[in-house]
């Protein structure tokens, strides 16, 4: 899906840019995915599961750029990758009215308004596409994420008990939320 870069102003006064990642961003993306998986238990992978090669990540980023049914945006603060957000449209006729969204940020960029800006931008893209509902899920206990999602108008629909198992054997619910556009 096409997207023109968008400049945003963060709560700390810094400028940031939302843009589609390029294949040249692959090394930064691999590092980001690994680092964010180490920073919090609220992403669906562990750092050691981030085993993509540079070529695989470049191909993945190119496939997102080329796919009209998806939009991946990254936020860059002073040229540094701060986070990403992905919007996935449904291609099936019976499901085209819904799209799913996922987001993650480096911890140091939490609380600066990046999440709100990325989710708002994705919501605009979904509306332009005629989507009626946005959906997401998050791991139980992610209070910061839940606060953001509720602020953006998402409501909890259901919980999937024991959907996530941590290394220590404990489990967490996966909380499913939806927003009507």
pLDDT digits (tens, 9 = 90+) for 162-178: 999 999 999 999 999 99
Q: What's the rounded Cα separation, in Å, for the pair 95 and 43?
A: 25
Q: What's the rounded mean pLDDT across residues 72-96?
A: 95
Residue spans of the domains in the chain: they are 6-134
Token pair of 120 as six digits? 């708002």
Q: What's the rounded mean pLDDT across residues 2-10?
A: 94
pLDDT for residue 151: 97
Q: What's the rounded Cα separation, in Å, for the pair 179 and 181?
A: 6
pLDDT for residue 2: 84
Is CATH 3.40.630.30 the classification given to domain 6-134? yes
Q: Smallest Cα–Cα separation from 43: which of 125, 126, 102?
A: 102
pLDDT at 1 over 90: no
Report residue 54's pLDDT band, with 50, 70 and 90 as the boundaries. very high
């Amino acid at each position: 899906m096409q997207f023109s870069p968008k400049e945003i102003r963060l709560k700390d006064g810094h400028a940031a840019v939302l843009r589609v990642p390029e294949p040249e961003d692959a090394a930064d993306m691999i590092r980001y995915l690994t680092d964010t998986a180490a920073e919090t238990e609220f992403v669906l992978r562990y750092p050691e599961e981030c085993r993509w090669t540079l070529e695989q990540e470049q191909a993945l980023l190119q496939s997102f750029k080329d796919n009209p049914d998806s939009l991946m945006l990254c936020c860059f603060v002073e040229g540094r990758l701060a986070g990403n957000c992905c919007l996935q449209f449904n291609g099936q006729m019976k499901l085209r009215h819904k799209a799913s969204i996922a987001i993650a940020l480096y911890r140091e960029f939490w609380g600066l308004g990046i999440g709100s800006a990325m989710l708002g931008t994705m919501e605009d893209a979904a509306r332009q596409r005629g989507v009626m509902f946005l959906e997401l899920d998050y791991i139980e206990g992610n209070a910061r994420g839940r606060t953001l999602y509720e602020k953006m108008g998402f409501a909890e629909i259901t919980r999937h008990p024991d959907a996530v198992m941590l290394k220590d054997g404990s489990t967490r619910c996966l909380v499913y939320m939806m927003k009507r556009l």
